[in-house]
Structure 1
Amino acid sequence: MRLIHSKYQRPEKISFCQKYFKWFLWFSLSLYFFTSFLINHPDNPKPRLTATSLPKTSVSRALFESVNITEQKSDKDLKTLNGLKIYVYDLPSKYNVAWLSNKRCSNHLFASEVAIHRALLESDVRTLNPWEADFFFVPVYVSCNFSTSNGFPAIGHARSLMSSAVKLVSETMPFWNRSHGSDHVFVASHDYGACFHAMEDAAMADGIPSFLKNSVILQTFGVKYNHPCQDVENVVIPPYVSPESVRNALESAPANEGRDIWIFFRGKMEVHPKNISGRYYSKQVRTNIWRRYSGNRKFYLQRHRFPGYLSEIVRSTFCLCPLGWAPWSPRLVESVVLGCVPVIIADGIRLPFSDAVKWREISVTVAESDVGRLEKILDHVAKSNLSTIQKNLWDPEVRKALLFNYRVQQGDATWHVQYALSRKMDRSHSKNRVSGKLKSDA
């Protein structure tokens, strides 16, 4: 498969028409300017048709729609991104789009790998000329294999799939080797990022593959202390939540004073200290919550799956976001975008886009050791600053920053990924080459 796009030459001027048919020249120029205007100012821009364009029939409509956000393009926006240019590798389908035969691939909590790829294909910062690119995006979907008996993603193939993609781009194009991969970007949206394992002890033992150590990893995992699974240049991103499902839930959302559930959680809660793996799930935090508060009428705790549980979040005032196997959870995003105050119970967690999302102003943090005081803590918040937190939650810019859209919207999740990369221009071979040339000329 070809990885480099062809260079297009400008058509030569038709001197015959200019010399003998002035009317034909006038008509041709008029048609040229008219069609150029239409191309540069489309009312409804259509996606480019590339080898990596993802079939609409294979993905959720959520990737095609935003939550009442209009597309914004401006010179000011491009200036904010420092003239960022990203080249998207056109990889064989086995690395990405072939996985979309399962619709869950584009719509589950790890689907940011699909969403970012799609958005970058239509982004203003995308370049088809790899020689001018600052960063190179390598679109490999590693969380779309749902072959496990419990239906969860299997990622045992992740390292070999990533390694194969790196081998391909390094052998067919010169850009990986010239920078040793430092200007190449990957998504690792599973529990422990590029360690590619769901169990922390195994993830830490395996570590990040050596071939990715020099690159930039977009990952949902992030902590404020040293950890082998973030021992790489990384950007913490939000887990994927369908914009369409959010929009549908918001249509039935009550006002803050109409929320009839005080403290809400639905999800896996171990009754026994250890689960079948022999490990302590959630460091026993969820077990302790269940044991202490399952009989408390202020708490609405449910252990069984319910596809429409977003309708419960919009009815809730506080939404518990305890750690699972990893510190992060899609509940962080679901709570914020649906106006429920997230109660974060995950010591040392590093949250996505903290420059744009003022987490301290929109959430409550409870230490894992303070779960026994959870009711008292939330009662105090209710008496002191709950209304302020709720007001901050409904800031549209906050909700926008945590959602991935089909096309990049200024201020949405993919835009913030671009912004984060634009602040890492020291890794850009293109920018450094130009800068070095200017210095030598001076």
Structure 2
Amino acid sequence: MAGRRIERPSRPRTKGLVLAVFALLALGSVLFVRQTKGLAWPVINTWQASLANVSSVLASVAQPAADADAQPAAAAAGAVAAAASKPQKQPLTDAIKRRCEGTLGTWCIDFHTQAEVGTCSALTGLCTCPAGWQGFNCLMLMPRHCASRYSYFGYERGREEPNVTKGVGLPSIWAFPESHCAGTCDETTALCFCPSNTTYGRRPAPEDAPPGAPPVQRGRPMGQFCQPNRTPDGQETAWGTIDPQDLYGPEGWCMAAEPKHQCPCTGDGWGGKNCEEPAEMFCFNQCNGRGTCIGGYCRCHKGWHGIDCAHQSAAVEPELPAELPAWVAEHVHTPAAADFPANATRKRPLIYVYELPSDYGTLYLQYRNGGEACVPRLYGLPGNGTHLSGWTYSVEAGFLEALLQSEHRTLDPEEADYFFIPLFPACFIHPVRDSADSLRDFYYSVAYNRVQGATNLMLEAWHWLRSHHPYWDRRGGRDHILISAHDEGSCWVPAALRPAIVLSHWGRKDANHTSGTAYGADNYSADLHHPQFEPEGWLRKLGKHPCYDPQKDLVIPLMKTPNHYHLSPLIGGPSRNRTWLAFHRGRVQKELPDYSRGVRQRLAEAAEKGGWLEKHRIAVGEHDKIEGDYSALLSSSEFCLVMMGDGWSARMDDATLHGCIPVIIMDEIDVSFESIVDLSAFTVRIAQADAEKLPDILLAIPHEKRQEMRAALARVWQRFTYSSYRPYAKRFRELQQQHAEAATAAQAGAAAGAAAEQQQQQPLSLPATVPDLDPAADDAFSTIMAWLHSRIPHTR
């Protein structure tokens, strides 16, 4: 039970001499610690371990010896009892065999037949601070000033007064950080609002108000694209894009009840025409119904704490949570904090999620400018309906929320098989790194190099958890898990964190690697020096490691919402002919030869010169060249091309989610689940050097072989979804029902006289829809859990 008080067994009586010796040893140890100021944590841990050894020796001396004649019988009885009580593995059934079709090795069968384990009570945790505050008691100010220039290393600067003349003569608004502000700055999050002297301006809390008091008036937001484009004397300035009269004039945004110009709403929790209607904010697990959500940070009720208020203090009596609004209640699910019934069991692995200071985690959710960035879901108006975020790196926060709501989560670190480090480096890189200029915006990194700051963020978090918990050092980090989901995120994980299991989208395996991005700010091969912050350069922190080690790491699918594959035949989408032989819609970047290692550019040029579209129905081009619903186009293609971009490519997952055969044109790079799923059964690999031979290679694959490949894909495709994630599962079921109803209507139409036309529309080759497909079974999350179960012995 969460927070249950546990009675300790009484200690055996010991002889007075033994107690005296132990007391003297303990007293000497205490005096030693009191006289040693600034003692390092590893030294304290060593002292504690030594003291524990002394205790165990004394306990063995004090324990009376058992009768020698009784020992063999007792041992035999104990062996029988142990055998009888040992958890038994589950039988291997035909259903399990079917679920594990298409996988490599025994990890899947081992997971489903494992002997399940018992349950433990919750532990207490640590306190964290909301944006704007820091310190052990959250009473130290931590301002985040709106900024009109970037730092080139250095310490955080103070407040800057607005000066729109800085933009005179500059080429565009992108010369400034996103938080540059010609109004009143909220210095906890660096969000900009209308000036305090305007009708709808921000009115801060009085100076004598208690810390954290809300503003007298929130005010209307003035985001990046709601800034003036002229100075007071009429000069044009790149500071903004809006005529000052549309902001400050009588009918302006900051002055009129019904302004003639509406600015975009920024920051989480507000919407409506004039950004004045409150909306629910995103928090993990919506604070378990035990706290107040503040833009990603949970201010937990008394007696509860943690990233989602799931940890209960032992001194607090259990109580039922208050009745929650329906839109909150549907996202609250915390099996790990529940009262387990007697004899309940759980499947391993059991994973403990570290409670890190918000500086390394939820602070970045508070620093985002609202919208879809950094979160897997958000609320919309009217009615606080759930909106599924299409953010590119949604797996950072989405996987974490799925884990927090999973039965694999444990609140007891002592029973954990793994320890998850909840970091958000992709959210740090953007939108946070590009918006303001506090220390936590750049983490000692030079302006325009974002991955250096992300590496420093990860290193600081690693130092913190080592100094506050013993678990990393216990097994050298082998039983720790982190996600690094950015473009080449697996390549710049610092060497200190390399022993951990790295989940990423980028499976680059070559030992001697350099950055392949065409975006200079993310180039992890560019060394940077600073006399104070980086006197030896920052590349030394990365070490010499492959980006991805298939023995201990895993390339995981992107977290695509069901809306992304809403027309896929695999969830019952409408039947259609696969009229495209091969398909790729995405950036080509002809002007950037380093992008995609030049493969996309070469293929686009060969397709254009060779007339591939007309001759072979092979479509390769930018978004504006190939129009139509993306899901419909993928569902209408036999082969889908998978080529890198600035790093990983989403096209592998796009293909599998639509029953399209992936054609992988990337050397020495593993794609999603390549180390654990038999991709050879349904993918085609082409060497980068042979990219121009694409038509000949694909046309040589017989029709029957293509059907076999699509059938093999259909058996494992759900492993590339995150359909068990509760918000996704709901939408998944809605789409299934909609397609089923549409199919029923179509059949009725065919029976009424359109049979011939219906027959003509049947697909040439299409994996069959799985009837009654359960979104909670065998998706990417459960696949990762099963694989982690197989890795437990390798972490010991």
| Superposed displacement of residue 141, structure 1 | 0.9
For structure 2, the residue ranges without an aligned partner over 5 or more in a row are 8-284, 290-304, 310-327, 332-344, 377-389, 436-447, 513-545, 727-774
Unaligned runs of 5+ in 1: 12-44, 55-60, 65-77, 197-207, 433-442
Aligned length: 349
1:282 has 2:278 as partner: no
Query: Does the alignment pair 1:267 with 2:586?
Result: yes
Contact kept, 8 Å, 1:254 with 1:314, in 2: the verdict is no
Alignment match of 1:230 (pick from 548, 552, 560): 548
- Structure 1 pair 368–210 and aligned structure 2 pair: CA distance change class (3 A): closer
- 1:138 aligns with one of 411, 415, 421: 421
CA contact (8 A) 2:488 2:646 kept: no
Residue 75 of structure 1 aligns with which residue? none
1:108 matched residue in structure 2: 391
The structure 2 residue matched to 1:176, chosen from 452, 459, 472, is 472
> Which residue of structure 2 aligns with residue 204 of structure 1?
none
Q: Does 1:190 align with 2:486?
A: yes
**d(CA) in 1 for partners of 2:603, 2:596:** 11
* Aligned mate of 1:380, from 691, 695, 700: 700
Q: Report the Cα distance in structure 2 between the residues aligned to 1:289 and 1:422, rounded to whole angstroms.
A: 41
Q: What's the counterpart of residue 73 of structure 1? A: none
Task: Map 1:76-115 to 2 at 5 A.
Answer: 83-100=348-365, 101-105=370-374, 106=376, 107-115=390-398
**How far does the alpha carbon of each residue in 1:285-317 deviate from its partner, in whole angstroms, 9 at most, with x for none?**
111111111332212222136795233212222
Matched AA of 1:160: N
* Deviation per residue, 1:241-273 (Å, 9 max, x gap): 2233223555784436x133332111111334x
Partner of 1:210: 495
Letter in 1 for 2:547: C
Aligned partner (choices 411, 425, 430) of residue 792 of structure 2: 425
1:170 to 1:417, Cα distance in 2 relative to 1, 3 A: same
- Counterpart Cα distance in 2 of 1:89 and 1:304: 41
> What is the CA RMSD across the aligned residues, in angstroms?
3.5
For 1:152-208, what per-residue CA distance to the aligned partner results, in whole angstroms no more than 9, with x for missing partners? 995442112212222222222222233332221111112333433xxxxxxxxxxx4
Sort the Cα spacing of 1:252 and 1:289 in 2 relative to 1 into closer, same or farther, 3 A. Answer: farther
Aligned partners of 1:6, 1:316: CA distance in 2, in Å?
52
More displaced 10-residue stretch of structure 1: 346-355 or 385-394: 346-355
SS at match of 2:641: strand
Larger Rg: 2
TM-score (norm 1): 0.69
* Contact preservation (8 Å) 1:320, 1:345: yes
Instruction: Provide closer, same or farther for how the CA distance between residues 225 and 146 of structure 1 changes in structure 2, counting only shifts above 3 A.
Output: closer
The residue that corresponds to 1:8 in the other structure is 4
Q: Which residue number corresponds to residue 412 of structure 2?
A: 129
Q: What are the equivalent positions in structure 2 for 1:314-393 lying under 5 Å apart?
A: 314-326=635-647, 328-354=648-674, 357-393=677-713
Distance 1:138 1:341, change over 3 A: same
* Distance change >3 Å, CA 141–CA 46, structure 1 → 2: closer
Q: Could you tell me which residue of structure 1 aligns to residue 401 of structure 2?
A: 118
C-alpha distance in structure 2 between counterparts of 1:355 and 1:368, whole Å: 21
Query: What's the CA shift for 1:325?
Result: 3.1
Q: 1: distance between equivalents of 2:349 and 2:663?
A: 36
Q: Whole-Å Cα distance in 2 between the matches of residues 160 and 339 of structure 1? A: 41
> For 1:96 and 1:392, how far apart are their aligned partners in 2?
40
CA contact (8 A) 1:182 1:216 kept: yes
Match of 2:630 in 1: 309
Answer 1 or 2: higher relative contact order, Cα 8 Å, separation at least 6. 1
Question: 1:169 & 1:307 partners in 2: Cα distance?
Answer: 49
Helix, strand or coil at the partner of 1:168: helix
Q: Give yes or no for contact 1:48–1:122 (8 Å, CA) kept in 2.
A: no
In structure 2, distance between residues paired with 1:223 and 1:378: 25
Q: Which amino acid aligns with 2:548?
A: Q
Aligned counterparts of 2:497 and 2:451: Cα–Cα separation in 1: 16
Deviation at 1:214, TM superposition (A): 2.1
User: Does the 8 Å contact 2:588/2:622 carry over to 1?
Assistant: yes
| Counterpart-to-counterpart distance in 1, 2:646 and 2:404 | 33
CA contact (8 A) 1:47 1:122 kept: no
Inter-CA distance 417–10: structure 2 relative to 1 (3 Å threshold) = same
CA positional deviation for 1:330: 1.0
User: In structure 2, the residue corresponding to 1:229 is in which secondary structure?
Assistant: coil
Q: Residue 379 of structure 1: CA displacement?
A: 1.1
Residues 290 and 89 (structure 1 numbering): CA distance in 2 closer, same or farther, change over 3 Å? same
- Aligned partners of 1:240, 1:309: CA distance in 2, in Å? 17
